[in-house]
Amino acid sequence: MGRSPCRADDANVKKGPWTPDEDQKLVDYINTNGHGSWRSLPKQAGLNRCGKSCRLRWTNYLRPDIKRGKFSEEEEKLIINLHSVLGNKWSRIVSHLPGRTDNEIKNFWNTHVRRKLLNPGIDPHTHKPRTDLDHLLNISQLLCVAQLGNLMNPLDTVFKLQADAAQLAEAQLLQNLMQIMNTNQRDPCQLEGLAVQQTPQKIPIHAGAAPQNHQILRNSFEQNENQLPGLVSTSPETAQDSTIYEAWEKLLMEDEADGGASYWKEILE
DNA sequence: AAGGCTGGCAACCGCGGATTC
DNA sequence: GGAATCCGCGGTTGCCAGCCT
């Protein structure tokens, strides 16, 4: 497995920020010739850069279809949901956000979202309440208050606080999913983060056993819905025909109709 | 006013999968 | 089949502007 020869110790190749002149050369070249082989591009475009640097500059900054500006709330939610399923697979996440770049999303995650999740004590890696020592220190402060209030066993208090936090997180995710269902946003990418969060146990998906799979999913959702605290509204607006598992059934059926080797099975598995 | 700190972002690095020879 | 090369990805670094003390 060889490594790219484009390296820092290559003294002939320029590094660092791009000048407007370099940008223009790169854009002009790609507009007329396409990028072709990135390796040979710099030479042909008259740039003293390595191909890798050119590719990065093009994909992260110069591409004409790049959407600049702040992330909308919808985009932010989508990123969080996708991240909860896909983890740091920025390239996969970015495929659901047209006009954004993986670098942009990665930076956005590391600077904004991570902090936003950490603040209420959500682990940005697992999307579950944090259990590390720092966070437990904070919990211990709450614990003192709780103990003064009702003389609970300290351990019971910790467990209760963590369980409450987990339930709140789950409830919030389910609520988001309901909203998406209700606004008829059937883009599967919006469902994947949310719905899978509702299935704490690993669900085996058997190829060619659709009814069985659907029943497992149904049971799983019913079970989890029963566990949720009363935060999820049961008003007529939310308790509509299109329940979560029905939506999932539909997705799975569409999936199976596609021929099986599916993205959904991959995610569920 | 100046120095330190922090957040945001562009760019680089190195790894590993895919492709070519 | 295996070595060489290319490409893309994710992690990390470094710079800069704005804020704080």
Structural domain contains residue A123: yes
Structurally, chain A folds into a number of domains equal to: 3
Q: Name the 3-class secondary structure at A127.
A: coil
Structural domain contains residue A125: yes
Is A150 found in the same domain as A116?
yes
Is A25 found in the same domain as A77?
no
Q: How far is the CA of A262 from the C1' of C13 (A)?
A: 38
Is A124 found in the same domain as A82?
yes
Is A86 found in the same domain as A44?
no
The reply to whether A16 Cβ lies less than 7 angstroms from strand B is yes
pLDDT at A107: 87
Is A244 found in the same domain as A141?
no
Is A128 found in the same domain as A161?
yes
pLDDT at A86: 82
The reply to whether A51 Cβ lies less than 7 angstroms from strand C is yes
C-alpha span between A36 and A247 (Å, rounded): 42
- Token pair listed for A194: 């949310």
C-alpha torsion sign, points A19, A25, A30, A32: positive
Q: How far is the CA of A110 from the C1' of B6 (A)?
A: 14
How confident is the prediction along chain A (269 residues), in pLDDT tens digits per residue?
333 445 444 556 788 888 888 888 888 888 888 888 888 888 888 888 888 888 888 888 888 888 878 888 888 888 888 888 888 888 888 888 888 988 889 888 888 887 777 665 666 666 666 554 444 444 444 444 344 334 344 444 443 444 444 444 444 544 554 454 444 334 433 434 333 333 333 323 333 333 333 333 333 333 333 333 222 233 333 333 333 334 444 444 443 444 333 444 443 43
Q: Name the 3-class secondary structure at A182.
A: helix
The amino acid occupying position A149 is G
pLDDT at A67: 82
pLDDT at A245: 37
Structural domain contains residue A158: yes
Structural domain contains residue A13: no
pLDDT at A190: 41
Q: How far is the CA of A96 from the C1' of C11 (A)?
A: 22
Domain ranges, residue A77: 68-186
Is A80 found in the same domain as A55?
no
The reply to whether A20 Cβ lies less than 7 angstroms from strand B is no
pLDDT at A64: 85
Structural domain contains residue A193: no
The amino acid occupying position A157 is T
Is A77 found in the same domain as A48?
no
Is A84 found in the same domain as A171?
yes
Q: How far is the CA of A17 from the C1' of C15 (A)?
A: 10
C-alpha span between A40 and A38 (Å, rounded): 6
Is A168 found in the same domain as A79?
yes
Structural domain contains residue A248: yes
